Amino acid sequence: MPLSQRTLEQGWTLTCARPRGAPALPDTIPATMPGTVHTDLLAARLIADPYLDLNEITVDWVGRCDWRYELEFEWQDDGADHVELVCPGLDTFAQIVLNGAIVGETANMNREYRFDVRGLLRAGANTLTILFESAWTRGEALAAQYEPRPNNYPGPANLMRKMACNFGWDWGPTLVTAGIWKPIRLESWSRARIASVRPEVTLEGADGRVRAHVDVEGGAGLRLRASVAGIVKELPVGAVLDLVVPSPALWWPHGLGSQPLYELVVDLLDEAGAVTDSWRRKIGFRSLRLDTAQDDKGTAFTFVINDTEVYICGANWIPDDCFLPRVTPERYATRIAQAKAANINMLRVWGGGIYETEAFYEACDAAGMLVWQDFLFACAAYPEEGDLPDEIEAEARDNIVRLMPYPSLVLWNGNNENIWGWFDWGWQDVLEGRSWGLGYYLDLLPRLVAELDPTRPYWAGSPYSGSMDIHPNDPAHGCSHVWDVWNEVGYEHYADSVPRFCSEFGWQAPPTWATLSQSVHDQPMTPTSPGVWHHQKATSGNDKLLRGLDGHLPAPGNMDDWHYATQLNQARAIRFGVEHWRSHRGTNMGAIVWQLNDCWPVTSWAAVDGYGRRKPLWYALRAAYHPHLLTIQPRGERLHVFAVNERTLFWRGPVTVKRVRFDGTVLAEWTHWRLCADRLDIAALAIPDDVAKPHNPRDEMLVATMHDSVAQYYFNEDVDLDLPEARADIVVARDGGDWLVTVTARSLLKDLCLFVDRIHPDASVDEMLVTLLPGESRVFRVSCAVELDAGMLGASPVFRCANQLVR
């Protein structure tokens, strides 16, 4: 009989099985599957929203209790030889009981478990119970089992296979979850089923090749059939299905080409040719390698796709919600669309989170969004004894096989910052020779990738230099993280080095005002009022925000100025670093900002805040990551204009550089009539001294233009500029369902933003951080559900520019 599936979705209840510090609760609570204890308690109005105010603290007891999920369901015997209970996502320590008999136990939220329940099911009514032990409780037992291992964050995440950021991070709350976070199902089958398919998808010359390794449980004497792009191959079970597709259309990262996908279907056939089980995925044909060759500057770190060196304009990705089932396919698609619109071409799935659901990778495939996938190790030492190695191997096998069909996935990375931690964070003295995870990163994981997914590169860590003989965060080798900037020094120090590839760097700012005011209700609201303070998880984060303004912007005198100044500083910091590194294209081949998204409303490094709203940083990234980047950068004693071209056609045209007084007077001008940046290349010109050197650095700037690209350069920081009083004319007009807001500058307006979420929380604007000289105009498209007028849009705190802060 063909394999059949039944998802057990409806009718679950939740009970507190061990009320460790819990208030009085009903005997049973309606539960949703997939879901978590927290979301079920929220739906039943038994806890306050932990994202609001200080509620995170008041719901801490939830993670310290044991919880029981129970389902009554009907089952009719269909005569199948096998019936399996399939649990792809149980969080985390669970005992499964069916009709009073223990089916099995789990200890890993990141892998699939299958249990044979044929002999336990009854015709008619059945009872399925899943008892979840608190991860805190199990963590206490594991801490007693393992000798101390360093961990940058409180909690036992490094002793178990659970999403590490559940226990809190410097941007995330401590909300220790439990529950059924992926749908549970019953699978019925006889004789045989497809256990897994591993498609190695490669290019050989102009042709695509698929080598499908199919594992079949049972199935002696049966056959397999695979088809893709009209090519069909049929072979006995146990053989590798090898299909050659003549000249397929290639899958490219967005901006370099299209993303054609082909459906690969593998069928399991009985002797009569009937399909008894089937597997299908969409695949893409592209070549891939990671160039880590030695050169005269150190060790390269360059992604080469379809024989093309791709400059990575990336962002780190964290779980988009603390409660994972709330991240729907639609939400994934929205967030990835936001990344693409910001000219981001790679998302790094960070190792303190999860292997994302299929919907994430499918959306990346469709969008041409490259994916760097960490294995789940972050900022801690991990024991290599006890049950942990077997769990880690099972988890890695599961997810390598699950994710390898997706063409967007281009790198497996061993860990986040753990090798760096062993070198620099005092671990060696604490460990006293005990294991800390190196065997996973240098032996187990690369061995599994080579066995299961040989078409993709593996890298041992982020950061990592490629050798334990070279410091892991040496910017001349491999990938590096830049965190002294922000933690210790100002953003001008991004210019101190040119990493071969920077896989983490970032600068903090609060969320949008609408998000902040929806999640914090302090009266009055200040940077240090209780709710705002609680939504700042970084050590000395608020102090660093203010210290980071030093030398750039004045210290803010009120909450509105603090909010704008810190958001502006975040945007400027990241744009400064990215433009510096991109001007060294060839030496540097990628930047992955920390971070794209947030999991809750918080002051953090994100470009898109926890309620999905774009911060000014998002607009700065869109500009800094633009495929045609024009930027003015110092080289030695001279200023140069750089044209950085990430398009597949050359970029050429006249470049004009003007030195302009803030009142709009052109003081000097120079045009080079034919600057040409070849495809995927860079071109540079030294700016003549009579243009590049100011008479009054407090009142002058450079403006470079090439076609529609504009670069601006100031000779001083804002605190040392004579910025005029901001004056502008504003005209508002309807355009369908949107508003067109025309701002005409009557004075220099530096980094103008219209914070329309101050008018309505759902309002948005298409552009921010716009600089206008006197007489220049810009039309802003605003989406807003209420009537807009010039008075509303022209006053602080909606109308903001740097002039207001300095004056």
With beta carbons less than 8 A apart as the criterion, state whether 506 and 574 touch.
Answer: yes
Residue-level pLDDT at 380: 98
Identify the DSSP state of 164. Answer: G
What CA–CA distance (Å, rounded) separates 162 from 183?
A: 18
Q: Give the phi and the psi of residue 223 in degrees, each rounded to 5.
A: -125, 160
Residue-level pLDDT at 414: 98
Residue-level pLDDT at 84: 97
Residue-level pLDDT at 786: 93
Identify the DSSP state of 33. Answer: S
Name all contacts of 734-739 with Cβ < 8 Å and 24+ positions apart: 735/781, 737/783, 738/781, 738/782, 738/783, 738/784, 739/781, 739/782, 739/783, 739/784, 739/788
Share of the chain above pLDDT 90, in %: 98
pLDDT in tens, 579-628: 999 999 999 999 999 999 999 999 999 999 999 999 999 999 999 999 99
Tokens of 23: 């208030």
1: pLDDT strictly greater than 80: no
Please count the residues of the chain. Answer: 807
Cis ω before 804 (30° cut-off from 0): no
In angstroms, the Cα distances linking 237 to 4, 222, 797 are 20, 6, 68
Please compute the mean of the pLDDT values over residues 165-189 and round it to a whole number: 97
762: pLDDT strictly greater than 90: yes
In angstroms, the Cα distances linking 385 to 291, 389, 423, 446 are 34, 7, 21, 19
Give the pLDDT band of residue 219 (cuts 50, 70, 90): confident
Radius of gyration of the CA atoms of the chain, in A: 28
What CA–CA distance (Å, rounded) separates 17 from 591?
A: 47
Residue-level pLDDT at 340: 98
With beta carbons less than 8 A apart as the criterion, state whether 263 and 280 touch.
Answer: yes
- Which residue, among 444, 451, 454, has the nearest Cα to 288 in the 3D structure? 454
Q: DSSP letter string over 548-591?
A: TTTTTSPPPSSHHHHHHHHHHHHHHHHHHHHHHHHTTBTTB-EE
Say whether 678 sits in a helix, a strand or coil.
Answer: coil
Treating both helix axes as pointing N-terminal to C-terminal, what angle do 559-582 and 616-624 enclose, rounded to 10 degrees? 20
- Which residue, among 765, 771, 638, 631, has the nearest Cα to 706 in the 3D structure? 631
What CA–CA distance (Å, rounded) separates 475 from 501?
A: 8
The catalytic residue among 56, 133, 356, 417 is 417
- Which residue, among 75, 69, 66, has the nearest Cα to 34 in the 3D structure? 69
- Which residue, among 163, 91, 596, 607, has the nearest Cα to 356 in the 3D structure? 163
- Which residue, among 691, 694, 674, 692, has the nearest Cα to 683 in the 3D structure? 674
3-state helix, strand, coil in the chain (%, to 5): 25, 35, 40
With beta carbons less than 8 A apart as the criterion, state whether 483 and 494 touch.
Answer: no
| β-pair partners for 254 | none
What domains appear along the chain, each with residue ranges and CATH number? 4-187 (2.60.120.260), 191-283 (2.60.40.10), 311-624 (3.20.20.80), 628-720 (2.60.40.10), 728-806 (2.60.40)
User: Which residue in this structure is represented by tokens 């099972």?
Assistant: 394
Please compute the mean of the pLDDT values over residues 148-162 and round it to a whole number: 94
What CA–CA distance (Å, rounded) separates 770 from 662?
A: 15
Give the pLDDT band of residue 807 (cuts 50, 70, 90): confident
With beta carbons less than 8 A apart as the criterion, state whether 193 and 217 touch.
Answer: yes
Task: Give the CA dihedral 406, 409, 414, 419, nearest 10 degrees.
Answer: -170
230: left (phi over 0), alpha (psi -120 to 50) or beta: left
Tokens of 198: 């591993």
Residue-level pLDDT at 2: 86
With beta carbons less than 8 A apart as the criterion, state whether 384 and 443 touch.
Answer: no
- Which residue, among 93, 96, 97, 95, has the nearest Cα to 109 in the 3D structure? 93
With beta carbons less than 8 A apart as the criterion, state whether 730 and 743 touch.
Answer: yes
Please compute the mean of the pLDDT values over residues 764-789 and round it to a whole number: 97
Residue-level pLDDT at 20: 84
pLDDT in tens, 634-673: 999 999 999 999 999 999 999 999 999 999 999 999 999 9
417 catalytic? Reply is yes
What CA–CA distance (Å, rounded) separates 115 from 110?
A: 17
Q: Give the phi and the psi of residue 789 in degrees, each rounded to 5.
A: -140, 165
Tokens of 240: 């590798």
User: Which residue in this structure is represented by tokens 């029981």?
Assistant: 68
Average pLDDT along the chain:
97
With beta carbons less than 8 A apart as the criterion, state whether 492 and 551 touch.
Answer: yes
- Which residue, among 306, 202, 208, 309, has the nearest Cα to 258 in the 3D structure? 306
Say whether 424 sits in a helix, a strand or coil.
Answer: helix
pLDDT in tens, 447-489: 999 999 999 999 999 999 999 999 999 999 999 999 999 999 9
Q: Would you give the end-to-end CA distance of the chain in angstroms? A: 78
Please compute the mean of the pLDDT values over residues 197-208 and round it to a whole number: 97
Give the pLDDT band of residue 91 (cuts 50, 70, 90): very high
Mapping DSSP onto H, E and C, the string for 321-372 reads CCCHHHCCHHHHHHHHHHHHHCCCCEEEECCCCCCCCHHHHHHHHHHCCEEE
Tokens of 124: 């008619």
Say whether 7 sits in a helix, a strand or coil.
Answer: strand
Residue-level pLDDT at 220: 82
Cis ω before 463 (30° cut-off from 0): yes
Please compute the mean of the pLDDT values over residues 225-239 and round it to a whole number: 96
Tokens of 401: 């096989």
- Which residue, among 427, 140, 213, 167, has the nearest Cα to 319 in the 3D structure? 167
- Which residue, among 230, 234, 192, 237, has the nearest Cα to 214 in the 3D structure? 237
Treating both helix axes as pointing N-terminal to C-terminal, what angle do 329-341 and 358-367 enclose, rounded to 10 degrees? 30
Give the pLDDT band of residue 693 (cuts 50, 70, 90): very high
What one-letter code names the amino acid at 38? Answer: H
pLDDT in tens, 397-433: 999 999 999 999 999 999 999 999 999 999 999 999 9
